[in-house]
Amino acid sequence: MKTTLLSSVAAFALTGAALADEVRVYNWSDYIDEDLLTKFEEETGLDLVYDVFDSNEVLETKMLAGSSGYDIVVPSGTFLQRQISAGAFQKLDASKLPNAENLWDVVEARTMQYDPDNAYSINYMWGTTGIGVNVGKVQEILGEDAPLGSLDLVFKPENMEKLQACGVHFLDAPTEMVPAALQYIGEDPDSHDPDVLAKAEPILMGVRPYVQKFHNSEYINALANGDICVAFGWSGDILQARDRAAEAENGVEVAYNAPSEGALMWFDQMAIPADAPNPEGAHVFLNFILDAQNMAQASNYVYYANGNAASQEFLVEDVIGDPAIYPDEATLENLYTTTPYPARVQRTVTRMWTKIKSGT
């Protein structure tokens, strides 16, 4: 009896010690160079637990339930804003983030839309949602002048009917796919009006029979291996697919285009949950990420732009010089942002999305 009690006291003390030495990060999949994780542990002496997710909805469920056990999480701006309102995050302690001086004011000005004064978050990466293609396969099917960079490719039933033969994946991300469908028909992609939102349904339903899968990460390998020929997905992920195909020397040429009709620009923000077990360690992690060279290493690996101005001199030309990653003025003008749906509208969109995915 006594022994049992003693050992559980010892176990408790051990757990306490382990927690203080441990930082738990929950980030998107395919979103970092894993060498940076080892580097963090070596430099700081802290143990890093690094878990991944691939959907804002999954993260949001955890954040709103509380007690996630994570010290750092990475919601996109619109989700961050709603979770801040719900009290899910704690304010950052600027005195513990000296590397925040590296942040890029251009990105900060935009993320303030979701997190006023950037009090709760720092930008990790940002990008666009668009079209990944296997150039050879799509041209073989639709011809040399296939609209590779147009929403016509994915929302015109005649095109999709033909493309289904080589495989099409769409994101399982209603707050990105519904705005894209609205943009396609010339409506405001950020509309919160239920009557306008309802117009997205026939567009998505019209091509639904030809979508093999709705998924947020499998398309990277599927595109790279040639298992699918079209993915409506995230910029850097499609560029990673391009790289994987090139490395495999399998003859697959992958290309990414932000839709010429306009593309969603999103911001993934690192934030500390209100009930994080180790907020001190969380700040150490954020400051590590804010280091110019570390941030450049991450972007060079995942092909996403970041919110760190000082990192830019360390970016490879393939990244800083690619307008699909760092848009030039003309590309920037063609990008739109969205704002969070109020709860009632969100429920409507969720219902619509369930219906679309089930195809009935």
Closest CB 216 distance from ligand N2P, rounded Å: 7
Using rule CB under 6 A, residue 30 touches ligand N2P:
yes
Helix H or strand E encompassing 243: helix 235-248
Q: Which of residues 256-295 bind ligand N2P (CB under 6 A)?
A: 266, 268
Residues touching ligand N2P, count (CB under 6 A):
9
Binding segment for ligand N2P (CB under 6 A), chosen from 26-34, 96-104, 254-262, 322-330, is 26-34
Q: Yes or no: say if 308 and 103 are a contact pair by the CB < 8 Å rule.
A: yes
Kindly state the smallest distance separating residue 7's Cβ from ligand N2P, in Å.
43
CB 117 within 8 A of CB 94: no
Complex with ligand N2P: residue 54 or 278, whichever CB lies closer: 54
Stretch touching ligand N2P by CB under 6 A, among 27-35, 158-166, 275-283, 321-329: 27-35
The interface mask with ligand N2P, positions 66-95, x = CB under 6 A, is ----------x-------------------
Q: Mapping DSSP to helix (H, G, I), strand (E, B) and coil, where does residue 49 land?
A: strand
Q: Are 72 and 26 contacting, i.e. CB atoms less than 8 angstroms apart?
A: yes
Distance CA 297, CA 311 (A): 9
> Three-state DSSP class for 48?
strand
- What CA–CA distance (Å, rounded) separates 169 from 210? 9
Q: Which helix (H) or strand (E) holds 125?
A: strand 121-134
60 binds ligand N2P (CB under 6 A): no
Q: Identify which range of 14-22, 24-32, 136-144, 188-196 contacts ligand N2P by CB under 6 A.
A: 24-32
Say which DSSP state 70 is in. -
Distance CA 317, CA 319 (A): 5
Tokens of 160: 């999709």
- Interface positions, 296-315, toward ligand N2P (CB under 6 A): none
Rounded distance between C-alpha atoms, residue 101 and residue 124, angstroms = 14
Stretch that binds ligand N2P, among 29-37, 60-68, 101-109, 193-201 (CB under 6 A): 29-37
Nearer to ligand N2P, 30 or 60 (CB): 30
Could you say which of 29, 90, 221, 334 contacts ligand N2P (CB under 6 A)? 29
Query: Measured from the CB of residue 21, what is the shortest distance to ligand N2P in angstroms?
Result: 28
Using DSSP's 3-state secondary structure scheme, residue 72 falls into strand
Radius of gyration of the chain (CA): 21
Binding to ligand N2P by CB under 6 A, coded x per residue (else -) over 219-258, reads ---------------x--x---------------------
Q: Decide: is 26 part of the binding site for ligand N2P (CB under 6 A).
A: no
Report the alpha-carbon distance of residue 264 to residue 318 in Å, rounded: 22
**Residues at the interface with ligand N2P (CB under 6 A):** 28-31, 76, 234, 237, 266, 268
